[in-house]
């Protein structure tokens, strides 16, 4: 605290004490004039008095100041009352005392001027220190603004990274759902293929049974043909036609089953290719996720070099790192879970 601030506060405290001692407005202004002139060495003025007291109208401090100067001039005149001294000696003695009073007052004013010079020098030094402190404060404010701007940029970047990670997680979830659907379709196709194979085997057994029955009938007809050659020859020809027709129908049915099996195998290959493409997309998303994680680590490294104001940001970054590690573990579990289905070779009948 410099001298001017101390004097101002002390002056206000002294004036508050005088308010209680002198309730009358003129008395209060007179005592404030005495306080300013004799204790603090300040020449009282009307504006100064009104600013300090703020009581009554503007004419009150002017009237009180006029009376103060009048009383001061009256007190500066020294009268020597003695019955034995002539009037000229009384006047000379009064003038001498007045001159001594004026000299003492001038010496006091000089001392007061020296004190004021010292006080003003201290005030100037204090103002220089205050200016330097304000400059330092402005520098700190600019530095704080830069750090705040850097932190805001880091918050924005982390928000963008979080959004990117969330988008990639949503993409992975969608791909996982598509993969599950593809697996279901693949399982349905495999089931249809198995059913077609069972139907083909059943039809083939029926054709074999029919052919065997036809052959038995043919052998029976040949036995009977020994007795009735002509009739049985015609019957044999008829049976041969029936056998040819049955074989032809069996071959056509077998050809249709082979076409169906080929189409099912082709659809199965297409779904396997689609599953491979989904797995490739999943690997690409995983690679992008790793790049985003590396970029996020770089941002954290930059934030660690900032001012102590970034401590809260570092805690948030630590929590985000834990969330990313959890997301990475989840991705690794998904990558382990998403494996290409084992290719099964279609079974072929010996027939």
Distance CA 298, CA 233 (A): 97
3-state secondary structure of 56: coil
3-state secondary structure of 228: coil
All structural domains of the chain: 3-137 (no CATH), 141-337 (1.10.287)
Distance CA 14, CA 291 (A): 73
pLDDT (tens, 9 = 90+) of the chain, 351 residues, equals: 444 454 788 889 999 999 999 999 999 999 999 999 988 888 999 999 999 998 888 899 999 999 999 888 877 665 555 555 566 765 666 666 567 656 656 665 675 566 567 757 876 887 888 888 889 888 988 888 887 888 888 789 888 888 887 888 888 788 888 888 878 887 888 888 788 788 878 988 888 888 788 788 868 867 776 787 788 788 768 878 888 887 888 788 878 878 887 887 888 788 788 878 878 887 887 888 788 778 878 867 776 776 677 678 778 878 888 988 888 888 888 877 765 555 555 555 443
Angle between helices 46-53 and 59-76 (to 10 degrees): 120
Burial of 172 (0-12, 13-18, 19+ CB in 10 A): buried
Q: Which of 39, 47, 180, 185 is CA-nearest to residue 112?
A: 39
In the numeric block, the tokens 């009384």 are attached to: 90
Angular region, 350: left φ>0, alpha ψ -120 to 50, beta rest? alpha
In the numeric block, the tokens 């001594």 are attached to: 100
DSSP state of 24: S
- Which tokens go with 102? 């004026």
Q: Where are the alpha helices (DSSP H) in the chain?
A: 3-21, 25-34, 46-53, 59-76, 87-225, 229-304, 311-337
Distance CA 276, CA 269 (A): 10
pLDDT for res 17: 92
Phi, psi of 268, rounded to the nearest 5 degrees: -65, -40
Q: Write the CA distances from 302 to 146, 153, 183, 277, integer angstroms.
A: 14, 12, 45, 38
- Which tokens go with 95? 């003038």
pLDDT for res 351: 35
Q: Which of 243, 198, 191 is CA-nearest to residue 216?
A: 243
DSSP state of 347: P
Please enumerate, as own/partner, the contacts of 35-42 that have beta carbons within 8 Å and a separation of 24 or more. Answer: 35/11, 36/11, 37/68, 37/72, 39/14, 40/7, 40/11, 41/112, 41/115, 41/116
* Sequence-distant (≥ 6) Cβ neighbours of residue 225 within 8 angstroms: 232, 233, 235, 236
3-state secondary structure of 147: helix
Are residues 18 and 31 in contact, defined by beta-carbon separation less than 8 angstroms?
A: yes
pLDDT for res 223: 79
């Amino acid at each position: 605290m410099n001298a001017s601030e101390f004097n101002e506060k002390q002056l206000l405290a002294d004036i508050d004490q005088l308010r209680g001692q002198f309730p009358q407005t003129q008395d209060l202004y007179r005592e404030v004039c005495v306080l300013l002139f004799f204790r603090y060495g300040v020449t009282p003025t009307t504006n100064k008095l009104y600013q300090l007291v703020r009581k009554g109208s503007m004419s009150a401090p002017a009237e009180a100041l006029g009376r103060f100067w009048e009383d001061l001039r009256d007190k500066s005149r020294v009268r020597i009352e003695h019955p034995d001294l002539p009037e000229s000696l009384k006047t000379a003695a009064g003038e001498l005392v007045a001159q001594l009073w004026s000299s003492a007052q001038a010496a006091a004013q000089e001392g007061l001027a020296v004190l004021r010079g010292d006080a003003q020098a201290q005030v100037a030094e204090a103002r220089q220190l205050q200016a330097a402190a304000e400059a330092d404060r402005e520098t700190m404010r600019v530095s704080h603004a830069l750090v705040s701007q850097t932190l805001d940029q880091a918050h924005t970047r982390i928000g963008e990274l979080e959004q990117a990670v969330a988008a990639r997680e949503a993409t992975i979830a969608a791909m996982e759902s598509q993969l599950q659907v593809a697996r279901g379709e693949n399982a349905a196709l495999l089931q249809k293929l198995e059913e077609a194979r069972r139907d083909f085997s059943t039809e083939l057994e029926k054709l074999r049974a029919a052919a065997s029955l036809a052959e038995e009938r043919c052998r029976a007809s040949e036995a009977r043909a020994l007795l009735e050659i002509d009739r049985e020859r015609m019957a044999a020809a008829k049976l041969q036609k029936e056998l040819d027709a049955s074989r032809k129908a069996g071959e056509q049915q077998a050809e249709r089953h082979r076409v169906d099996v080929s189409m099912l195998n082709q659809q199965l290959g297409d779904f396997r290719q689609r599953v491979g493409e989904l797995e490739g997309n999943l690997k690409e998303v995983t690679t992008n996720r790793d790049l985003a994680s590396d970029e996020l680590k770089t941002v954290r490294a930059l934030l660690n070099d900032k001012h102590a104001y970034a401590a809260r940001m570092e805690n948030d970054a630590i929590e985000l790192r834990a969330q990313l590690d959890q997301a990475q573990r989840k991705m690794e579990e998904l990558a382990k879970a998403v494996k290409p289905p084992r290719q099964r070779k279609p079974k072929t009948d010996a027939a």
